[in-house]
């Protein structure tokens, strides 16, 4: 048996932001901003014969902040059985209309689509949101068109963070190729918090 194996080493920047809001309240705000994907509604649109324009209309109506949640994994109740007191939820969030551009270039890019987003409870009881930069993830495939898809996903996340009232890292406004990225120790970056009550 023979085959082609490709190994592409790269650096992926990980973003973690403390909302400084109570965990439950921040999680609720996130779930309102990124509503659950209604699979049955999508199936209904497909069966109606409305085609891609019907799916686009559905996405426009549901992804108010650019994303819908296609899957939720909450291990907290199970972990509590063994004494873990904090909570954490993983979400898979996507915009299938925008993601289609990436699928057309290379379906393998859906390894990283939907985006994996985590909201965890800190030791102080606040909600912390974390994710890997989409532009870095898409850069692994080596296609300029996928770089554009990653940059677009960065921009979507920046808008979501602004809506949630948390700091927006400057890296979300660029792409993986804007500056040379070298492997090194992790660091913390201070980002000014937006004024309370603004969106």
Residues 134-150 pLDDT 10s: 999 999 998 998 999 99
Confidence band, pLDDT 50/70/90 cuts, at residue 178:
very low
pLDDT at 185: 46
Across the range 181-189, mean pLDDT stands at 47
More confident call, 153 vs 9: 153
pLDDT of residue 177: 46
Query: How would DSSP label each residue in 88-143?
Result: EEEEEEE-HHHHHHHHHH-GGGGGS-SEEEEEEE-TTSEEEEEEE-HHHHHHTT--
What is the layout of strands, in order, in the sheet containing 115-121? 14-22, 126-132, 115-121, 88-94, 68-73
pLDDT 10s digits, 70-102: 999 999 999 999 999 999 999 999 999 999 999
Q: For the chain, what are the domain ranges? A: 14-37+66-168
Read off the tokens for 184: 């090194």
Least reliable range by pLDDT among 18-27, 84-93, 169-178, 183-192: 183-192
pTM for the full predicted model: 0.84
As a whole number, the mean pLDDT across the chain is 88
Q: Which alpha helices (H) appear in the chain, and where do they start and end?
A: 23-33, 39-48, 51-62, 76-80, 96-105, 134-139, 144-164
For the segment 93-116, the average pLDDT, to the nearest whole number, is 96
Q: What is the pLDDT of residue 194?
A: 55
Confidence at residue 186, expressed as pLDDT on a 0 to 100 scale? 47
CATH 3.40.470.10 fits 14-37+66-168, yes or no: no
Q: Give pLDDT tens digits for 27-80.
A: 999 999 999 998 888 889 888 988 889 989 988 888 989 999 999 999 999 999
Cα angle for residues 85, 89, 90 (degrees, 5° grid): 145
Q: Rounded CA gap, 23 and 14, in Å?
A: 20
CB-based contacts of 117, cutoff 8 Å, min separation 6: 90, 91, 92, 93, 129, 130, 131
What pLDDT, on a 0 to 100 scale, did the predictor assign at position 174?
65
């Amino acid at each position: 048996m023979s085959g082609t194996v490709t190994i592409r080493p790269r650096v992926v920047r990980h973003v973690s932001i403390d909302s400084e809001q109570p965990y439950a309240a921040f999680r609720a705000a996130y779930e309102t901003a990124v509503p659950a994907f209604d699979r049955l509604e999508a199936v209904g649109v497909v069966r109606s014969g409305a085609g891609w324009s019907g799916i686009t209309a559905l996405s426009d109506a549901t992804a108010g902040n650019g994303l819908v949640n296609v899957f939720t994994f909450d291990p907290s109740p199970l972990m509590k059985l063994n004494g873990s007191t904090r909570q954490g939820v993983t979400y898979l969030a996507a915009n299938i209309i925008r993601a289609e551009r990436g699928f057309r270039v290379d379906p393998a890019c859906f390894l990283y689509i939907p985006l994996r987003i985590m909201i965890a409870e800190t030791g102080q009881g606040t909600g912390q949101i974390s994710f890997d930069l989409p532009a870095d993830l898409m850069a692994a495939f080596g296609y300029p068109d996928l770089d554009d898809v990653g940059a677009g996903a960065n921009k979507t996340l920046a808008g979501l963070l602004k809506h949630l009232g948390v700091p927006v890292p400057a890296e979300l406004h660029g792409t993986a190729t804007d500056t040379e990225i070298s492997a090194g120790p992790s660091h913390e970056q201070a980002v000014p918090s937006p004024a309370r009550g603004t969106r």
